[in-house]
Each structure stands twice: as structure tokens, then as C-alpha cells.
Amino acid sequence: MKLLILGGTVFLGRHLVEAALAREHDVTLFNRGINNPDLFPEVERLRGDRDGGLSALEGRRWDAVIDTCGYVPRHVRDSAQLLAGAVDHYTFTSTIGVYADFEKVGIDETAPVSTVADDNLEDLTAESYGPLKAVCERTVEECLPGRTLVVRAGLLVGPNDPLDRFTYWVRRVAQGGEVLAPGRADRQVQIVDARDLSEWIVRMVEARQTGVYNGSGPDYVLTMGRMLDEMIAVSASEARLTWVDDKLLIDQKAGAWQEVPLWLPETEPRFAGLMKADCGKAIAAGLSFRPLAETIFDTLDWDRSRVEPPAPYKLFGIELAPAGLSHERELALLQAWKAR
């Protein structure tokens, strides 16, 4: 299969390339050549920009395209319109964050998505990210009706994760000592190894599957406690977990999701369903999951191999500090918890 990947050098994209090459597909990458430009020297690389620089794609043909970096509807419309006559199948990687109401637990693909007042909005922020992705999904389907696959990804984890939200816990637990564990031990979390999602997407493209799928996991109820316990076992750590409740973390103004990764206060109804989406449709279509221990081991191995420590990451044009608690902040929160 001749496969075009828009992006292809950052996290999910690079795992998609690896999965496609492992299945002996002929891969072409289209990107700006900014992130990891030396990756995959064996594949064809076309240089360009989603914002008015698509000329390298003109006059070419592929069997399918996977769009890993569509965030602004205009950019997605331009590429989808240009490729509508050049590919048979278009996969758009979206996010579970498109849904309008996360107070409901078990959101499936039929749930309403967020909207924006103006579909031409290009101001990408944490608040507009989900709604704009929803517009992008609709735009692709309008350009290639009946030929689109939309994958609404959950929290992607594993090696090469630039956001470090899962990696923080792997690293912190491996360091040992007293570890602040947020909320309840039996609080559910949803994660999916980017390699598992990538392999499934490539198989879905091969079969020309269409429709919308929530792409997260695992296929059992994973709790924060089980995840951290497995990290202790995999890293042979002497870490001791101290569970700190939501109230203390809120009182101390701990930052949900970024400063304290994977923590969403259960006192906030708007977060109730964010990590409890219904992924049964994708699982029925073949999405499978490697053992959690394997993801933890590989993530720890990758993290230890990094030449540079975690650095600020730019998302939506906003520079985010590395995910996770600093040593000093963790100690202060633990002391506050014990004092209370």
C-alpha cells in the first residue's frame, strides 16, 4: 500500500511510520522538516507547510493518507480537498476531547461534540482544541464522504511521549522514596500505548474501514493504584505511596493534569467521564493492548536513555512546563497532608 502520512516524526506519527514499515508499506512523509528531520531516511520525505505550502503533494497519488497534525479547520480543509482525488481513504487522528459534556460516564461515539461560533476560528488554545478538532473531523468527511476514518485518541503513552504525563509517574516511582499519589487508589484512568493505537490504525487503513472510533484503553478498568503498583513492580522500586485526597490538593492549588499528571479532582462533575470513555467499538474492531508492564518497562528504558532532561513543550502556542511535580513541590504537599 502506498501510504502518505502528514506529520510522522513526533510520537504517534513516528509510531505510525514504524507500524506501516513493519507491515511493508511504501511510506511518504509530508511535514516541515522541523521535528526530528533525520528520522526514517529510508522513506520518501516531502517538505511543505499545512498553511499554504501544500504544493509538494500536487500531481501525486497514494492509496491512503493518515493525518496526524490537523488542528485548524482551514489547514485540514486545504489538505483534504487537495487529496480527495489523490487517495482512496483518509484517516484523521482526533481526540476524545471533542465531546461537549464530560459529566457523563461512558461516552461513546454518538455523543454530541463541542461546537464553535465560527468554523473559521484559528485561535488554538487549550479551550478551543477539542471544538476545533470536531470541526476538522466534519471537514474531512465533507471532502471525502464515505472514505474517512476518524480516531478519537485518548491519553497516549509510551516511548517518545513529548508531554511526559505518564512518563513522570514511571520515572518518579522508579526513583523510590515516598511518592505522592493523588486522589483515590481505585480512581479509574484510561491510557493507550501509542504503538498499540498506531498498529491498529494501520490495520484499519489496510481494510479501508470508515467511521468514528474512540481510541483509548485498556480493555479492563485500570485504576491509578494498580498502575502505580505495577510501576513499582516493573522498576523493582522501593517507592512508598502516600495517597493524598482531592481536597488537600485543591486547597494547596495543585495543578490538575499537568502539574499532577493523570489527576482530575472528582469534586468537579465536568471531569467525571474524561477518563471513562466507551472504547468498545474500537476494541470490537480489533484494537488490542500490550501488557501494561511492557509499556512501563519500555517507557522507563526510553526515559533513561534521553540525553537531555524533560524540557518545556509548546502546545497550542503555549509553552508548558515539564509535566509533574518538582521535588520541592511534592515535599511541600506531603508535609501539608501530614500536618492536616
- Lowest model confidence (mean pLDDT) among 86-90, 114-118, 196-200, 224-228: 114-118
More confident: 284 or 119: 284
pLDDT score at 318: 64
More confident: 123 or 148: 148
The tens digit of pLDDT for each residue in 71-127 reads 999 999 999 999 999 999 999 999 999 999 999 999 999 999 999 988 888 888 888
pLDDT score at 316: 58
Mean pLDDT of 28-55: 95
pLDDT range class, residue 226, cuts 50, 70, 90: very high
pLDDT score at 174: 98
pLDDT score at 37: 92
> How far is CA 101 from each of CA 71, 124, 273, 281, rounded to the nearest angstrom?
20, 20, 8, 20
pLDDT range class, residue 30, cuts 50, 70, 90: very high
Chain centroid offset of residue 79 CA? 22
Average pLDDT, the chain: 95
Cα gap 84→140, rounded to integer Å:
9
SS3 at position 181: strand
pLDDT score at 307: 84
pLDDT score at 80: 98
pTM for this entry: 0.96
Where do the domains of the chain lie? Answer: 2-156+192-215, 160-190+219-268+291-339
Q: In the chain, pLDDT over 70 holds for what percent of residues?
A: 98
What CATH number does the domain located at 160-190+219-268+291-339 have?
3.90.25
User: 160 pLDDT exceeds 90?
Assistant: yes
Where do runs of H (alpha helix) occur along the chain? 12-22, 73-83, 129-143, 165-175, 194-206, 224-235, 246-251, 280-284, 292-305, 327-339
Using an 8 Å Cβ cutoff, are 76 and 90 in contact? no
Mean pLDDT of 45-72: 96
> How far is CA 255 from each of CA 47, 317, 325, rounded to the nearest angstrom?
38, 20, 9
| Cell numbers for 201 | 490504525
Chain centroid offset of residue 274 CA? 13
Q: What percent helix, strand, coil does the chain show, rounded to 5? A: 35, 20, 45
User: 48 pLDDT exceeds 80?
Assistant: yes
> How far is CA 313 from each of CA 97, 216, 258, 323, rounded to the nearest angstrom?
19, 23, 12, 9
- Lowest model confidence (mean pLDDT) among 231-240, 298-307, 314-323: 314-323
Cα gap 111→99, rounded to integer Å:
7
Domain 2-156+192-215 classification at class level: alpha beta
Using an 8 Å Cβ cutoff, are 200 and 287 in contact? yes
